[in-house]
Amino acid sequence: MVNIHIKDLVPSASSYADGEVIFKLISEKVAAGEDVVVSFKEIPATPSAFINSAFVRLLEVTSIQNIQQHLKIVDSTKFINDLIKSRLLFASTRH
């Protein structure tokens, strides 16, 4: 299992570039069926640009089912959780 603490890796989870850092760390793991835990501790909100880059792009390398099974979001707000879910579900209907 891989544990990712966003706050330790990017100054703020506020840009597409910040999300790219997270994507590069988790994409191969999730695609290979490994469990990945991503912590949003100390991050109260984040824009869709970050979510799209870090998580929605996972659909380029694996299925929505695989993402749901192997990616766990922790220490997050309802806003962030809902944003991730809605963006992934919307994008998965486009792939």
**pLDDT tens by residue, 30-85:** 999 999 999 999 999 999 999 999 999 999 999 999 999 999 999 999 999 999 99
Domain limits, the chain? 2-92
The separation between the first and the last C-alpha atoms of the chain, rounded to the nearest angstrom, is: 27
pLDDT at residue number 94: 74
pLDDT at residue number 38: 98
pLDDT at residue number 95: 56
What is the DSSP code (8-state) at residue 35?
Answer: -
Overall average pLDDT of the 10-22 stretch: 95
pLDDT at residue number 93: 86
